[in-house]
Amino acid sequence: MDFDKYNIGFGITGSFCTFAKARKAVEHLCEMGANVIPIFSFNAQTCDTRFGSAKEYVEGICEITGNEGIRSICAAEPIGPNNFLDIMVIAPCTGNTAAKLTGGIVDTPVLMAAKAHMRNGKPLVIAISTNDALGAGFKNIGMLMNMKNIYFVPFGQDNYKSKPNSMVAKMELLPETIEAALQGKQIQPVLHLVIVKKKRQAVFCSLSFLMLKRFGTPLMLHGTLLQAGRRRK
């Protein structure tokens, strides 16, 4: 893959535990030749957490990309009329950001950038990262999947025992997702599932997406749950 002809907007929202992976993804895209323009939510810019200093993180991303970055709603709005992004990524995308995207709410630089970018009919890639993906946030993920020009980095449960509702994108698949999205395609499989094997039985959960992403064609979700009987001694 060669991204040297592409301007990629990279929106970063406040899923702080995923910041290190997002930084690696930015580095990788820059190494592949992309011109990456970072866009920071207000929380990403201001919240110091156990994962590090917000100021140091923002400055580090800007240094990697060679771009100052977009840090205000006013600075993000010209993305629409100037039409200078080929594709935009939100990585990580929090459950809060996903919910606001579905409702058309624009109250952070990342959300304004996404709205401005999508008015031009260009692809938006989402790398979800939320503890509530299989809870209240599940409907928002489904709604976004059924929207034209929105594509997802494949994702799955990151800790099904301690955080059964949590799902995180496979950030290492971001370049492949971008490449597919630029062609109007959703990379597959979009769900990475855990197969759990127990001592005397196996539970297999199979979910397959039939995705016809063109022109608002409905997304169909088909799920099956198979449980093997006890093995003979």
For position 24, what pLDDT does the model report? 97
Hey, where are the domains in the chain?
7-187
Q: What does the pLDDT read at residue 70?
A: 98
Task: Return per-residue pLDDT of the chain as tens, 233 residues.
Answer: 789 899 999 999 999 999 999 999 999 999 999 999 999 999 999 999 999 999 999 999 999 999 999 999 999 999 999 999 999 999 999 999 999 999 999 999 999 999 999 999 999 999 999 999 999 999 999 999 999 999 999 999 999 899 999 999 999 999 999 999 999 999 999 998 766 655 444 333 333 333 333 333 333 333 333 333 333 33
How many Cβ atoms are within 10 Å of 91's Cβ, its own excluded?
Answer: 24
**Mapped to the 3 state alphabet, what secondary structure does 53-94 carry?**
CHHHHHHHHHHHHCCCCECCHHHHCCHHHHCCCCEEEEEEEC
pLDDT of res. 52: 94
Say which DSSP state 157 is in: E
**Structure confidence at residue 2 (pLDDT):** 85
Residue 138 confidence (pLDDT): 95
The pLDDT value recorded for residue 9 is 98
- CATH tag, 7-187: 3.40.50.1950
- Report the alpha-carbon distance of residue 86 to residue 66 in Å, rounded: 18
Secondary structure of 162-203 in the HEC alphabet? CCCCCEEECHHHHHHHHHHHCCCCCCCCCECCCCEECCCCEE
pTM of the entire predicted model: 0.84
pLDDT of residue 196: 62
